[in-house]
A and B are shown apart, each in its own frame.
Chain A
Amino acid sequence: MATKPPDYVFLDHTADLGIKVRGEDLKNLFETAAEALMHLMIGGESQAKTTDMNITVSGQDLPDLLVRWLGEILYLFEGEDLVVTFIHIDFLSLSRLDAALKMVPFDPTVHKIHSEIKAVTYHQIQVIEKGSTWEAQVIFDT
């Protein structure tokens, strides 16, 4: 992942860190949002062998699904010391997504921590269709 930075911009929020993400379609939007989250948190590339994981996330609607999805990616790093290096969303509906992930163990000798993100918040969460593309806004607690 992350040879080219994902397509996102910072939102200007006093206390926390927010991003605006664009995607060609919903799957691409959710993938880009997760890539942006990883990019905000961590840099550097590890040569370690990757492990695969398939995950399913459910939510009440698209904004809830986005918060829960990003929450899973964050947990893998914060709770399991795993750095997600590849994300592919296989299936996405208004209330569920299935994704395939590749991960490497966090290695402080090659990975560089950019920002601590404590949580993905529901504050001003947005997922909207804009013409032929999709846009989302997410604020993280830092």
Chain B
Amino acid sequence: MEITLKKLDDCRWLIPKTGKMRVPGLVFSNQKLLKGVEKDQSLLQVANVATLPGIVKHSLAMPDIHWGYGFPIGGVAAFEMEEGIVSPGGVGYDINCGCRLMTTLLQASEVRPLLKDLISSLFNRIPTGVGSKGPLRLSKADEAKVAVQGSAWAVKNGYGQPEDLERTEDRGTMEGADPTLLSDRAVKRGLEQLGTLGSGNHFLEIQVVDQIYDPQLAQAFRLSEGQITVMIHSGSRGFGHQICDDFLKEMAKQVSVKGLELPDRQLAYAQLNSDLGRKYLAAMSCAANYAWANRQVLMHWTRETFLHVLSTSPRELGMSLLYDVCHNIAKIERHKVEGDEISLCVHRKGATRSLPPGHPKLPEIYRHAGQPVLIPGDMGTFSFVLAGAQGSMDQSFGSTCHGAGRVLSRSKAIKLAKGRAIHRELADKGIFVQSRGKKTLKEEMPDAYKDVSQVVDVVQQAGLAKKVARLSPLGVIKG
């Protein structure tokens, strides 16, 4: 199928409704970013999502869109509750993969001399890599509590402060989680992986705020130039993968039994108003909660490591959570459609919620500024802090981009990196990296990703979020 793009303005492009599409596609991008996108099949995936039952308004793509499986990564789609569907492929395997950012009272000059020590200590403390297991061993009963309570379980058990909860999307607890729906395999895989970073594009990074775009918003987010921040990018680990896999198989079977036609099997779905649809959402919520608890535990260990290496006090370190967002999720939310506010199931696969100032779901401290939106760069490049803006409610079901987005396949990246010491290249830029394998470094090297600055410029231009600050990496640990 040939995809035609119709330019609406400098940052919006329409995929007109053709064939079996129920709604048009809407792509937030610019001329430069689109050149990369047109080479792969991600725009076809936007059109494929538009064929699903009950989809509302548009099948959306953020500027960091890239070719995923089923749904594109950087895709957003909302479905109405009666006729609409939920699709595990529209959430992804790493349910509630997301990002959290901690601010500190430290200045870059205080941290630089101890950076290697800090990174090695973090690397020793925080389990990374494929199948990594943590020092935490959950009983089945505790795992069920984590699955229901999320971050609240972590805080209750000493991993963090009560105020961390209001600074986490949905307070780190997704309602309606039901651990009795999980397979034995999912339960087993969750027992030993809480408090682990994982591999691939997951990371923990020490950063410095190197540019402020909006001083007022920066103040509201307690960000200032030269300040040290720490970003954690991780998800629900094997527990989430297994839950996605279990339900996807069940839905693929139902789609086949019912003889439903799909442009791609990975788009297999269940009606929201069906037993299987409800069960998936309740199981998915378990993984979402696990991921929030995971990032909460990782943050706690990061704080302890900083205190130890810098021999400082919690008061002097002042490490506090700015915000935690998820970027792989399906949620029932209220949105305005043709003048009426209705409930919709919003799928965000590689997209971040971006609530504008005044939104009732925001905690009091961010009510005037809007939701902090965290956009991790790829390894060795800038990350950004944005604030949610009204345009997201008007155009994208309260969503914006999530990161840089790949432009090179992993195999091409490895080919391109052949003979290069990515480690050294990053060190030359003043970035200290510690990882389990050299291969991850090559797969994840900066050349493999889109320019994240371009991505955030597009979302700002489109009014989905406002740029607040830029963060420059100093040290990274990876799987």
Q: Which of A52-93 contact B (CB under 8 A)?
A: 60-61, 63-64, 67-68, 71, 75, 77-79, 81
Known: A79-B242, A122-B70, A142-B200. Is A14-B406 also a contact (CB below 8 A)? yes
Quick check: B245 and A119 within 8 Å, CB to CB? yes
Quick check: B409 and A13 within 8 Å, CB to CB? yes
Report the separation of the CA atoms of residues A61 and B256 in the bound assembly, to the nearest whole angstrom.
Answer: 9
Q: Which of B220-271 contact A (CB under 8 A)?
A: 238, 241-242, 244-245, 248-249, 252-253, 256-257, 264-266, 268
Q: Which of A15-48 contact B (CB under 8 A)?
A: 15-17
Known: A15-B66, A142-B200. Is A79-B189 also a contact (CB below 8 A)? yes
B460 proximal to A (CB < 8 A): no
Quick check: A12 and B69 within 8 Å, CB to CB? no
* Minimum C-beta distance from A112 to chain B (A): 9
Report the separation of the CA atoms of residues A123 and B72 in the bound assembly, to the nearest whole angstrom.
Answer: 11
* Count, chain A residues at interface, CB 8 A: 34
Q: Which of A113-141 contact B (CB under 8 A)?
A: 113-116, 118-119, 121-125, 139, 141
B342 proximal to A (CB < 8 A): no
Quick check: A15 and B406 within 8 Å, CB to CB? yes
Quick check: A116 and B200 within 8 Å, CB to CB? yes
Select one of A16, A64, A71, A77 contacting B256, CB under 8 A.
Answer: A64
Quick check: A71 and B252 within 8 Å, CB to CB? no
Residue of B252, B264, B479 ringed by the most chain A CB atoms within 10 A:
B252
Quick check: A64 and B252 within 8 Å, CB to CB? yes
Contacts of B361 in A (CB 8 A): none
Report the separation of the CA atoms of residues A125 and B69 in the bound assembly, to the nearest whole angstrom.
Answer: 10
Contacts of A12 in B (CB 8 A): 409, 411-412
B140 proximal to A (CB < 8 A): no
**Which A residue sits closest to B251, measured CB to CB?**
A122
Known: A118-B93, A123-B264. Is A16-B69 also a contact (CB below 8 A)? yes
Report the separation of the CA atoms of residues A78 and B249 in the bound assembly, to the nearest whole angstrom.
Answer: 18
Closest 9 CB pairs of A and B: A123-B69, A122-B265, A123-B266, A116-B130, A121-B69, A60-B256, A122-B266, A14-B67, A116-B199
Other A-B pairs beyond A79-B189, A122-B248, 4, CB < 8 Å: A13-B67, A78-B131, A113-B130, A121-B69
Q: Which residues of A contact B (CB under 8 A)?
A: 10, 12-17, 60-61, 63-64, 67-68, 71, 75, 77-79, 81, 106, 113-116, 118-119, 121-125, 139, 141-142
Q: Which residues of B contact A (CB under 8 A)?
A: 40, 42, 66-70, 73, 89, 92-94, 129-131, 185, 188-189, 198-200, 238, 241-242, 244-245, 248-249, 252-253, 256-257, 264-266, 268, 406-412, 436-437, 439, 479
